[in-house]
Structure 1
Amino acid sequence: MGPGTLYEILKTLPVFEHPDLLVSGAKLDDAGVYRLNDDLALIQTVDFFTPMVDEPYLFGEIAAANALSDVYAMGGTPLTAMNITAFPTCSLDLGILRDILAGGASKVQEAGALLVGGHTIEDKEPKYGLAVTGTVHPQRVVTNQGAKPGDLLVLTKPVGVGIITTAIKAGEASRRAAREAADIMRQLNNKAAQVMVEVGVNACTDITGFGLIGHIYEICVGSNVGVEIEVHDIPVLEAALEYARMGLVPGGAYVNRRFLEEKIHWVGNVPEEIQDVLFDPQTSGGLLIVVPQDKANRLTEKLEAVGVKGFKIGRVTDEPSKIRLEGD
């Protein structure tokens, strides 16, 4: 579902408030956070979707990594997970479901969390994901609302996987491009989150269905700031640019663009295929970390030390909700 449609629905629903509800769904953040006591809060999130790859085990890995990512974006540690599954048992081999669940379980195990059950329904198309509970210290919650003018934006994964998965479905993606995208999507954001918490940052979100620009916009709204992005500094998968030129762009990218087009300012030359990538819905994308300028080098150095590349892509400004995208 696109951001515009979702916001229209959510604004009609009641807003739940409680002294211990530190982050609610009303704040457009990645997960909810509820304080249990002075030293412990729970992070709760859920995510599931239809397959974007043909390999069942890989699909399970990607869906689980995507769901776990919300906990990492809040600066937390996954504790437990529950499967959410829809599957057509009358038309597909049950071995496919077994492989999907095994792939998901492998990522839960890699995260150091516990798989404690789940729920399965009959459906015409397979769907899979997780409901995840994590923990965090109440005073160390990282939200998308703390960005300050002068902060730098650091992205931990390249963008463009949505375009590549669209090319996969069309039978146009090379084996190399498909594998590169899969490896990015199945990678947990745990190491990046650990470094982020250690260094101390002002805000964070993970890049998923609303695309890079959509999630930047959420930080702008949540923090009452603007951003300036250097487009040439954004890490982009080369194959995604090739497939975008071929018109292999997912429908969600156009939905994201329509919602955001009046909220952004293009400066200089930004080719159409790069614009497509910036709006491209990501699956299990990287963390977008907002860090004070004097900590930025320390953050990227520590990320590098644990095998994660941190890309400085822009800075925060004091112009509320203004997104400035600077090309060549």
Structure 2
Amino acid sequence: MNAPVSIPPVRLTSLAHGGGCGCKLAPAVLQELLAGAAAPPFAQLLVGTETGDDAAVWQVDENTCIVATTDFFMPVVDDPHDFGRIAATNAISDVYAMGGRPVMALAILGMPLGKIAPETVRSILDGGRAACTAAGIPIAGGHSIDAPEPIYGLAVIGTCRPQDVRRNTGARPGDALILTKGLGVGIYSAAFKKEILSEAAYAEMIASTTLLNSIGAELARDPDVHGITDVTGFGILGHGLEMARGSGVDLDLSLAALPWLSEAEALAEAGTVTGASHRNWDSYGAETDLPSDLPAWRRHLLTDPQTSGGLLVACDAAKADEILARVRSAGYPAARRIGFATEGSGRVRVVA
């Protein structure tokens, strides 16, 4: 009997041309691909593709909506269990961002056969299952293919009440803006691939990217919370711009108020940025207003793709401090008030 073929260990990130949400198509390319592709009208489809929202929402009856999403990407780290946890947490986030509670998931798996050992793939799946267990949901099935690069993610189904649906189009003039997680994941992942990320920063990145955005389902029950979206591959500027466009307002973001992962600014200033940061800026930079003396490395922080990032929340300014306190007490210590919405036409301004 032939002995089993041994596959040598390999860095997962070395098998992928990009990693995490930095693999997303550039916003401008995505807009071009989806142009004219609006679905036929269905009265029960409350949220579709029209505003680039986080998930689709279908109203079943007067009390129940189905929230459905899918998200997958290539490795952002080399540890297979961490990769599985991050990818699953990121996918589940879309349901929370719509105000839903997840009920089950289906796995999406593409692996380059012969390049990755079976035990590595098993560890990826175990990591995804661990994230789903933390969210209180099963992985009820899925699909796998032989692929040239490793891919993992989930299709996630959730539910919510119709009145609890929260969109990226709900911001109102005068609203305060809250961000629930620190920024800089793309910078950290780029540093990781260069093998210059410190152990402490790696631990910080894993803690952030595996933190479920479950607070979104709680916030959606509050009528003072008007709009929610999660900040992922298009960066804080790009996802802020989607909220501004969809809501018909301008967003003013305070540079001094934005929360950063502890080493993100130093790494960016030293030149560690992602290709996706450049693509993001090329896609939407003309629709944003930045300080004239803003150095390029700070601009890259604003367009930095976030894998499993936080929620951007638009809420009644009079209740913002109370809502922020609730978010922090629920386990999001990096949460900050980062700006406000004003009357406008769909732009984002960054003020020093």
Does the 8 A contact of 1:156 with 1:192 survive in 2?
A: no
**Counterpart position of 2:147:** 123
Deviates more, 1:183-192 or 1:148-157: 183-192
Does the 8 A contact of 1:211 with 1:280 survive in 2?
A: yes
> For 2:342 and 2:309, how far apart are their aligned partners in 1?
24
1:83 matches 2:107: yes
Equivalences for residues 181-260 of structure 1 within 5 A = 181-198=205-222, 200-260=224-284
Equivalences for residues 155-166 of structure 1 within 5 A = 155-166=179-190
Q: Which residue type is aligned with residue 46 of structure 1?
A: T
> For 1:272 and 1:71, how far apart are their aligned partners in 2?
34
1:18 matches 2:63: no
TM-score with structure 1 setting the length: 0.97
SS in 2 for 1:145: coil
> For 2:292 and 2:166, how far apart are their aligned partners in 1?
34
TM-score with structure 2 setting the length: 0.90
Gaps of 5+ in 2: 1-24
Equivalences for residues 1-40 of structure 1 within 5 A = 1-40=25-64
Deviates more, 1:257-266 or 1:267-276: 267-276
> For 1:141 and 1:161, how far apart are their aligned partners in 2?
28
> For 1:185 and 1:295, how far apart are their aligned partners in 2?
28
> For 1:193 and 1:156, how far apart are their aligned partners in 2?
13
**Counterpart position of 1:315:** 340
**Alpha-carbon distance, 1:35 to partner:** 0.5
Deviates more, 1:67-76 or 1:199-208: 199-208
Q: Which residue type is aligned with residue 125 of structure 1?
A: E
Distance 1:301 1:255, change over 3 A: same
- 2:318 corresponds, among 280, 294, 297, to 294
**CA deviation map 1:47-76 (0-9, x unaligned):** 000000010000000000000000000010
**Counterpart position of 2:302:** 278
SS in 1 for 2:103: strand
**Alpha-carbon distance, 1:215 to partner:** 0.2
Give the % identical residues: 37
Q: Which residue type is aligned with residue 80 of structure 1?
A: M
Deviates more, 1:249-258 or 1:191-200: 191-200
SS in 2 for 1:35: strand
Distance 1:195 1:308, change over 3 A: farther
**Alpha-carbon distance, 1:245 to partner:** 2.0
> For 1:157 and 1:244, how far apart are their aligned partners in 2?
18
> For 1:292 and 1:147, how far apart are their aligned partners in 2?
9
**Alpha-carbon distance, 1:206 to partner:** 0.2
SS in 2 for 1:294: helix
Deviates more, 1:294-303 or 1:225-234: 294-303
> For 2:299 and 2:131, how far apart are their aligned partners in 1?
32
Q: Which residue type is aligned with residue 340 of structure 2?
A: R
**Alpha-carbon distance, 1:12 to partner:** 3.4
Distance 1:38 1:196, change over 3 A: closer
Tell me the number of residue pairs that the alignment of Structure 1 and Structure 2 aligns: 327
Deviates more, 1:267-276 or 1:89-98: 267-276
**Counterpart position of 2:194:** 170
The RMSD of aligned alpha carbons is 1.3
1:261 matches 2:285: yes
> For 1:277 and 1:237, how far apart are their aligned partners in 2?
11
1:61 matches 2:90: no
Distance 1:114 1:198, change over 3 A: farther
Gaps of 5+ in 1: none
**CA deviation map 1:236-257 (0-9, x unaligned):** 1231222212222111000111
SS in 1 for 2:200: helix
SS in 2 for 1:184: helix
Deviates more, 1:136-145 or 1:236-245: 236-245
> For 1:196 and 1:138, how far apart are their aligned partners in 2?
11
> For 2:293 and 2:325, how far apart are their aligned partners in 1?
31
> For 1:323 and 1:236, how far apart are their aligned partners in 2?
19
Q: Which residue type is aligned with residue 126 of structure 1?
A: P
> For 1:129 and 1:188, how far apart are their aligned partners in 2?
15
> For 1:218 and 1:174, how far apart are their aligned partners in 2?
33
**Alpha-carbon distance, 1:199 to partner:** 6.2
